[in-house]
Amino acid sequence: MMMNNRKYDAVLFDMDGTILDTVPLIVESFQHTFMKHLGHYEDEQKIIAGIGLPLETVFADYSQTDRDAMMKTYVEHNVELLPTHIGLFIGMPALFEKLKQAGIKLGIVTSKRLSSAMGSIEPFGLEHYFDLIQAKEATTKHKPDPEPLLHAMSELDVSDPKRVVYVGDSLFDMLCARNAGCYAAMVDWTRMDKNQIKVWKPDFWIDDLDEFYNWVVNQ
């Protein structure tokens, strides 16, 4: 029987800003919500810095009483613009296909609600690549807490966090991986503060998808 000498069993991906170019849509949805409920726009960099947190957490910082109404406004506006304001980062489907052929388990771990997550990936036909699509509802704690990754590992029947890579674009993704004991790979196309992320020394900085594939499969 041939032994599996591969270092990693699973690669898990954040979705927004990592697989899909959704950051402009997210910013627009937040600004629409802030103007409607608060009467002003918010600093764009502040909005971007908070991407990756659940909507409840973000809007609770602005208003406890209007939080649910703000979430409703955000989701309705986001869904309305989704078909024309979202893109897929070049090369991702090919990467998924190669990793699957190499026997790597693939998953998405996102802070979005499942309906929103599926509504984002289904237009691109990506869902069949993944052994797991895990959204906000799956856990009680969220990034940067390790629970989302630990839960995903359990669902994929992977017990050793050192055999898991989490790919993301934000500091929340970076810290979630660190807290779970997984390896962290950050994408170079992030719109977040790269220097802030690099302080935490990601295990791999993805600026070439072929190099990342080789790092995962051929170590």
For residue 209, the one-letter residue type is: L
Please give the Cα distance from 99 to 54 (Å, whole number). 29
CATH number at residue 169: 3.40.50.1000
Among 45, 62, 84, the domain boundary falls at 84
Which residues constitute the domain of residue 36?
Answer: 23-84
Inter-CA distances, 190 with 12, 26, 110, 162, Å: 17, 14, 16, 24
* pLDDT recorded at residue 6: 76
Domain co-membership, 35 together with 15: no
> In terms of domains, do 43 and 17 share one?
no
Cβ contact 55:73 at 8 Å: no
What pLDDT is stored for residue 4 in this prediction? 56
Q: pLDDT for 144-165, tens place per residue? A: 999 999 999 999 999 999 999 9
Give the model's pLDDT for residue 2.
37
Among all residues, which ones are annotated catalytic?
14
- Joined tokens for residue 193: 């503060």
Q: Does residue 213 lie in a domain region?
A: yes
- Amino acid 13: pLDDT: 99
In this structure, the answer to whether residues 170 and 121 fall within a common structural domain is yes
The answer to whether residues 62 and 91 belong to one domain is: no
92 in the same domain as 68: no
- Supply the pLDDT for residue 1: 32
Residue 2 is assigned to a structural domain of this protein: no
Q: How many domains, the chain? A: 2
DSSP code of 53?
B
Angle, vertex CA 141, rays to CA 181 and CA 16, nearest 5: 80
Say if residue 203 is in the same domain as residue 111.
Answer: yes
The three-class DSSP label of residue 71 is helix
Residues of the chain scoring pLDDT < 50: 1-3
Shared-domain flag, residues 162 and 65: no
Q: Which residues pair with 13 in a beta bridge?
A: 108, 167
Q: Are residues 93 and 186 in the same domain?
A: yes
Q: What is the pTM of this model?
A: 0.91
